[in-house]
Amino acid sequence: MKLTVDVNICRGHGRCYSLAEGLLTYDEDGYVTPRGQAIDVPADQVDDARNAADSCPEGAIDLLED
């Protein structure tokens, strides 16, 4: 599975990285990193990635099955 964050939609609420701490981090402005690229989601963090995607009010996070 891969995770992407749309930089044009993300508003920096922080819900995603608080739910997927081992997978997502944030920058000095409070926006999730990385944005604008696809990252691999380790098997043990798939549930966290799904929770993060589901929590985004803008729907900026997409999960792509391999």
Are the CB atoms for 31 and 10 separated by under 8 Å? yes
Whole-number CA gyration radius for the chain: 10
pTM as predicted: 0.89
**Residue ranges making up the domain that contains 54:** 2-64
Model pLDDT, residue 41: 97
Q: What is the mean pLDDT of residues 8-30?
A: 92
Name 60's Cβ contacts closer than 8 Å, sequence gap at least 6. Answer: 5, 6, 9, 10, 11
Task: Provide the token pair at 19.
Answer: 């739910």
Q: How many domains does the chain have?
A: 1
Instruction: List the strands of the sheet with 61-64, edge to edge.
Output: 38-40, 2-5, 61-64
Provide the CATH number for the domain around residue 55.
3.30.70.20
Model pLDDT, residue 66: 80
pLDDT tens digits along 38-65: 999 999 999 999 999 999 999 999 999 9
